[in-house]
Amino acid sequence: MIHLITEVSRLTFIIIFAIYTYDCFAALRVERRGDDSTRLYGRQKAMTYLFLVNGNLLLFLNTEEPKIFIMMLAEIIFVVIAMIIYNKIYESASRAVVNNMCMLLSIGFIMLTRLNQAKALRQLLFACVALIITCFIPLFIGNVKLIKGLKLFYIVAGILLLGIVAVAGGTTYGAKINISVGGIAIQPSEFVKILMVLFIACMLYKDTSRKQVFTTVILCCILILILAYSRDLGNAMIFFLTMLVMVYATTQKPVYLLGGAGLFAVAALVGYAAFAHVRTRVIAWKDPLSVVDGAGYQISQSLFAIGSGGWFGTGLYQGMPKRIPVVETDFIFSAISEELGGLFALCLIFICIANFLMFFNIALTIKNRFYKIIAIGLGALYASQVFTTLGGVTKFIPSTGVTLPLISYGGSSLMATMLMFAMIEGLYQYRGEKEEIYETETTRYRQNR
């Protein structure tokens, strides 16, 4: 009987999420025309609640633990509060951004409860704390003087944090990524990412002379080299791509983009020649089954899961996602694809695409140059992280072990991503405003037509 309900719900999950995904892109189109998209966003909200109910119902049927219902209630309350904050309190915030944030978090909640209830509970707590902290961000983001004034702090704090991890951090899967503070493992790189975006924006929003660009790049490269030294190759790549995009955007010179791509190729070749752990990953990427008992174990397990799930998935609790190492963090996409189906996973990729499209869309509408640069930086950060992790677990690119924002388990990742989303929401409110603040520093200003 449970099996039958599970079979049927494989389809309901996909239908719910497909409607949600359709609405997401429909809203983008409707807004471009300037029409009202409230109805679409309303239906998206309904789909999010429906997904939570459907998911928790299945979790209960399979575990028969009443506390699942308490979790469900908490999750629904969480979504309701998030909606109130970004729909009612910040009236002009982007509904699309908050809807997607809640949907992705919900998928994470359901999948984590299926994989590890204790971690799911902690994730829910992290999300609540993060929501409370980040809901003040849109207030502070208007204080440009403060943001610009902390320029030195960003880079010094970034280097120090990553440096401490490189020296004293704990090792997980060959990479030093976290540091334990009072019993809580913190992953500083998640936050340093945002610091780097702010730093580059502060450095280059006005002065893009060669000297300024090189100073910025060299300081950022220190961060990247520390990450590479800690063997956190995934984050090194994300930092590098984000830096490249921001330097290109601010200087408006494509030559930096090409030069950066060349530098990346050289770094990759040197890394491959010099480090055995880089070679191992490339071998595991090219033919994981040939080293299935060694370096290819993780990626093979991931592909076993994705492949066996097929387009419609096995249904919750019918697969074996726990066979994949670190499935709750880096490989949660494979677990989703296995049990909820390849079609569901495809919709998930589309939602991630919609997110970065929205980030860049917001960047386009912002008139203030400094804010525009921050929005571009955050968009690049999000897009490179999603691409690195999804590409890695599907064997499109070598796997590097990065979290999938908002879905993967992990307090630091969750907090940092919600910080990003809150910043974007904040920037969205200022999209119409001109550059008064920094115009006072410039010589002339022409009125917009």
Q: Of these, 34, 88, 218, 252, which contacts other proteins (CB under 8 A)?
A: 252
Interaction of residue 308 with other proteins, rule CB under 8 A: yes
What are the b/e assignments for 214-232, b being 16+ CB within 10 Å?
eebbebbeebbebbbebbb
How far are the Cα atoms of 174, 272, 289, 378 from residue 360, in angstroms, in the given order?
A: 35, 33, 39, 9
Is residue 438 a contact partner of residue 205, using CB atoms and an 8 Å limit?
yes
Interaction of residue 369 with other proteins, rule CB under 8 A: yes
Interaction of residue 344 with other proteins, rule CB under 8 A: no
Q: Which residue, among 172, 160, 158, has the nearest Cα to 220 in the 3D structure?
A: 158
Interaction of residue 82 with other proteins, rule CB under 8 A: no
Q: Of these, 42, 289, 294, 432, which contacts other proteins (CB under 8 A)?
A: 289
SS3 248: helix
Q: Which residue has the tokens 């939602």?
A: 351
Q: How far apart are CA 432 and CA 368, in angstroms?
A: 8
Nearer to other proteins, 172 or 365 (CB): 365
> x/- string (CB under 8 A) for other proteins, residues 196-235?
----------x-----------------------------
> x/- string (CB under 8 A) for other proteins, residues 48-67?
--------------------
CB atoms within 10 A of CB 322: 14
Q: Which residue, among 316, 284, 318, has the nearest Cα to 303 in the 3D structure?
A: 284
Q: Of these, 13, 51, 356, 430, which contacts other proteins (CB under 8 A)?
A: 356
Q: How far apart are CA 379 and CA 355, in angstroms?
A: 8
Q: How far apart are CA 325 and CA 331, in angstroms?
A: 8
Q: Of these, 319, 401, 411, 426, which contacts other proteins (CB under 8 A)?
A: 319
Q: Of these, 300, 385, 412, 413, which contacts other proteins (CB under 8 A)?
A: 300
CB of 252 to other proteins, least distance (A): 6
Binding site for other proteins (CB under 8 A): 1, 3-4, 7, 206, 245, 248-250, 252, 254, 289, 292-293, 300, 303-308, 310-311, 318-320, 323, 342, 345-346, 349, 352-353, 356-357, 360, 363-364, 369, 372-373, 376, 379-380, 383-384, 387, 390-391, 394-396, 435, 439, 442-446, 448-449
